[in-house]
Structure 1
Amino acid sequence: MIALDADVFIDADLVRHVLDQQHPDLAGELTLVASGWDNAIYRLGDDLAVRLPRRRIAADLVRNEQRWLPLLASTLPVAVPAPVRAGVPSDGFPWPWSVTPWLTGTVVAGVPVAARRGLAEPLAAFLNALHVPAPSDAPANPVRGVPLSTRSAAMAERFATGRVPLHLRPLWDELVAVPGWSGPPLWVHGDPHPGNLLAGPDGGLAAVLDFGDLTAGDPATDLAAAWLVFDAPARAAFRAALGPRVDADTWQRARGWALNIGAALAADATGTPEMTAIAVHTLDAVRESALP
């Protein structure tokens, strides 16, 4: 099962094996649709998907989704991949895994940035609904929802790669100095890039995917979507739709989070063309929004 680029090798035969072991009533053709850094996703028939972690470190993320996403789903205004069946470790596979609904739509990363304006208000509504106080046992995450200053060492490493423009370093230093979040820890999606959003046929928001980074903390992490997803006009509409709950400091921290996430994508020499395009757009948007 060991592969060079993952802790386990996952193919359709393995997926069928664990389904037959634990959920034998779930029949249907299996089609690989994604094999990312953390998870492999197979479509199961027309209506379901099977999501298995490819790395041990991702197994805890699956547990978090299994516990919390069904509870959050009923409070959110768009579809999310809340597990409908939970797989447990077995002799066929060492970690938990999930069966989720198959959510339809167009991955927003494939939609031209200028055509994403219709997402601004519904994405703001989704985040407003998500960003409520989280319980004390919400998942911890060392790289999301935390004070922005805790990401400075990682940012220094990213600048050192030469793949993140050095002219952005003074801006990072400025944004790190913005006062931190002083409110209660709020639920945070943690990974609000356009590869995790689905658009509907009307151009609106159909679904939000991948809650593996789900945590509690500073909502500015998610508001980084303003730069990750949008151009300047749509970003202004997004901010307006968020309403007065987002103050100037939170908006500036969100720009810092966008710089942090964009730099992480840019510094990854193994990144896909899709992720590289997101990085380029984000860093350009952060830079341009800082100009007088």
Structure 2
Amino acid sequence: MHADQVDVTTEVVATLIQEQFPEWSDEAIRLLPSTGTVNAIFRIGNDLSARFPLRLADAAETLAVLEREARASAELAQVSPFPVPEPVALGKPGAGYPMPWSVQTWLRGTPAADADPSGSNAFAEDLAAFISALRDADTRGRLFDGDNRGGVLADHDDWMAKCFAESEGMLDVPRLRRMWSHFRELPRTSADVMSHGDLIPGNVLVAGDRLSGVLDTGGFGPADPALDLVSAWHLLQPGPRDVLRRTLTCDDLEWERGRAWAFEQAMGLVWYYVDTNPTMSSLGHRTLDRLLESTE
């Protein structure tokens, strides 16, 4: 998926575990099929999963990121009303893999990407309960300090310009440019709240038509309250989307900023993964279609 991607095999993972965590060396190791774009994920026995960053980076910098993600995941686990993975250990480079890696608890459930709950009002209510619990968590005075989604919309102008250029021939770029011209001007009036930051179908687990767990919790941190509203368009059809909005009592401005963050994310998914991860590219298309429909 990435030009700088590092290949990770089951044999490499088995060697790393044997050398660094021999207590797990008798456990079965399985590479998990995933639409994820950041980590290769391997299941270790029945209760653990190991995550290996896919993109080559400095080992010390990667360790700092993994340590920060572990702290964030542990903090989210304290406030989440639904099961989330909890950090277990950090591995070191070795056996042909050049970066640190992480081990978490394994969650059972079916990703929403595979068992579509988008028409379920009950799922929308569960999603609202999760977002509300995170919003109620103490920021401890922290503010958004990243360069990803969750800060100032207009800071993404350069990225959006690249997305529009790369999307010529795939999407109705003139119409989408007009949408971004509107979104980037939306004012920010609310203080940061704690946020998951990436509520897409691959990061949400379901059982039946209910939310059963949430994955990829290492981005938990302060951000625009509208950021987790991307889930309204990534995950929900119009009826349940309205349930989510009513349950969270979103005003017009917050809801529109949620549309803006979903738009920014979806625009990048369509072209970047068109050949390397068709599922993610299709997610981008579907989200954009829902955003366009909601303006008609």
Task: Name stretches of at least 5 consecutive residues in structure 2 with no aligned partner.
Answer: none
Deviation of 1:197 after TM superposition, in Å, equals 0.7
Instruction: Answer yes or no: is 1:282 the counterpart of 2:287.
Output: yes
Mind listing any 5+ residue stretches in structure 1 that lack a counterpart?
none
Q: For 1:119-174, what per-residue CA distance to the aligned partner results, in whole angstroms no more than 9, with x for missing partners?
A: 20111111111123424567842012111111122112111121342212212211
| TM-score of the pair, normalised by structure 1 | 0.88
**Does residue 38 in structure 1 map to residue 38 in structure 2?**
yes
What's the secondary structure of 1:42's corresponding residue? strand
1:195 paired to 2:194 = no
| Equivalent position amino acid for 2:109 in 1 | G
1:87-115 residue CA offsets vs partner (Å, 9 max, x unmatched): 24457644332211221111111234654
CA deviation map 1:19-64 (0-9, x unaligned)? 2222211131101004643211111112211111122459354222
Question: Hey, what's the Cα distance between the residues in 2 that align with 1:45 and 1:100?
Answer: 12
Root-mean-square deviation (Å): 2.4
The CA distance in 1 between the partners of 2:263 and 2:2, in whole Å, is 31
Q: CA 1:165 to 1:116, structure 2 compared with 1: closer, same or farther past 3 Å?
A: farther
Identity of aligned residues (%): 33
The 3-state SS of whatever aligns with 2:23 is coil
Is the 8 Å Cα contact of residues 32 and 41 (structure 1) preserved in structure 2?
yes
Cα distance change on mapping 1:211 and 1:271 into 2, 3 Å: farther
- 2:5 and 2:269 map into 1 onto residues whose CA distance is 22
CA distance in 2: counterparts of 1:229 and 1:21, whole angstroms: 41
Give the 3-state SS of the residue equivalent to 1:262 in structure 2. helix
Structure 1 residue identity aligned to 2:16 = V
Please give the residue correspondences for 1:148-187 in structure 2 after superposition, counting only pairs within 5 Å: 148-161=153-166, 162=168, 163-166=170-173, 167-183=175-191, 185-187=192-194
The CA distance in 1 between the partners of 2:88 and 2:147, in whole Å, is 28
Q: Is the 8 A contact 1:17 1:92 kept in 2?
A: no
Question: Is contact 1:175–1:256 with CA below 8 Å preserved after alignment?
Answer: yes
Residue 235, structure 1, aligned to residue 244, structure 2: no
Alignment length, in residue pairs?
Answer: 285
